[in-house]
């Protein structure tokens, strides 16, 4: 019988592979406040109702019409989950309204981090001035040492910046639009 050495940060498993103990894994961020109610386990079964039925059928055993109906139900379930994610993010960001994070570099870091989070979920901020989907940025401005938050977007083919407040504005979210290249017709078609 072989004896495995045990170290502080690793634990041998039955197969001989090293398994990291649970305390090694990074902590998970859990939203607080009203966003928390959207993520409670009791809301998950309601949002995922019908998923097992989609997975249980065997291929070729149903008609195209039935498959289409099931795909439509699946699309609706995914839309409900995406809405819950959007509302949770919006709720968390609402708590940051009116904040200045100290410097231009820090404000830019916050704007970039917000953009990366939203982009990963197919979202953009809604410009409060024109309603178009936009990317939140922080730009330098004379007389404002920590910069100003602006909404960067394209309107009628031209890059436009709206906003300009020194503190983080109230952010509402919307779906990310398709890429502009995808909207252009292909040559000869």
> Which of 150, 178, 179 is closest to 164 using CA atoms?
150
* Amino acid 178: pLDDT: 87
* Amino acid 32: pLDDT: 44
Burial class (CB in 10 A: 0-12, 13-18, 19+), 73: middle
What span, in angstroms and rounded, lies between the C-alpha atoms of 180 and 112?
21
Q: Any idea which of 34-48, 53-67, 105-119, 136-150 has the lowest mean pLDDT?
A: 34-48
pLDDT single digits (tens) 26-83 = 444 444 444 444 444 444 445 455 555 544 555 556 789 999 999 999 999 999 999 9
Q: What is the DSSP letter of 23?
A: G
Render the burial of 78-117: b for 16+ CB within 10 Å, e for the rest: eeeeeebbbebbbbbbeeeeeebbeebeebbebbeebbee
What span, in angstroms and rounded, lies between the C-alpha atoms of 45 and 58?
23
pLDDT (mean) for 1-30: 43
DSSP string, 33-80: THHHHHT-TTHHHHHHTTHHHHHHSPTTSS-HHHHHHHHHHHHHHHHH
pLDDT (mean) for 127-156: 95
What span, in angstroms and rounded, lies between the C-alpha atoms of 188 and 49?
46
Mean pLDDT, the chain, rounded, equals 77
For residue 149, the tally of other CB atoms under 10 A from its CB is 24
Q: Any idea which of 62-71, 99-108, 147-156 has the lowest mean pLDDT?
A: 62-71
């Amino acid at each position: 019988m072989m004896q495995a050495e045990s170290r502080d940060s690793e634990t041998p498993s039955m197969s001989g592979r090293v398994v990291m103990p649970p305390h090694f894994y990074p902590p998970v961020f859990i939203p607080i406040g009203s966003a928390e109610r959207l993520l409670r386990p009791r809301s998950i079964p309601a949002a995922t109702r019908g998923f097992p039925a989609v997975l249980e059928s065997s291929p070729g055993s149903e008609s195209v019409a039935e498959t289409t109906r099931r795909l439509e139900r699946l699309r609706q379930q995914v839309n409900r989950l995406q809405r819950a994610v959007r509302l949770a993010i919006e709720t968390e960001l609402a708590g940051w309204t009116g904040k200045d994070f100290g410097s231009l570099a820090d404000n830019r870091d916050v704007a970039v981090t917000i953009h990366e989070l939203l982009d990963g979920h197919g979202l953009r901020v809604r410009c409060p001035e024109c309603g178009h989907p936009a990317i939140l940025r922080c730009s330098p401005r004379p007389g404002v040492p920590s910069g100003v938050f602006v909404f960067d977007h394209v309107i009628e083919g031209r890059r436009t910046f709206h906003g300009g407040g020194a503190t983080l504005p109230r952010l509402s979210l919307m779906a990310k639009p398709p890429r502009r290249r995808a909207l252009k017709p292909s040559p000869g078609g």
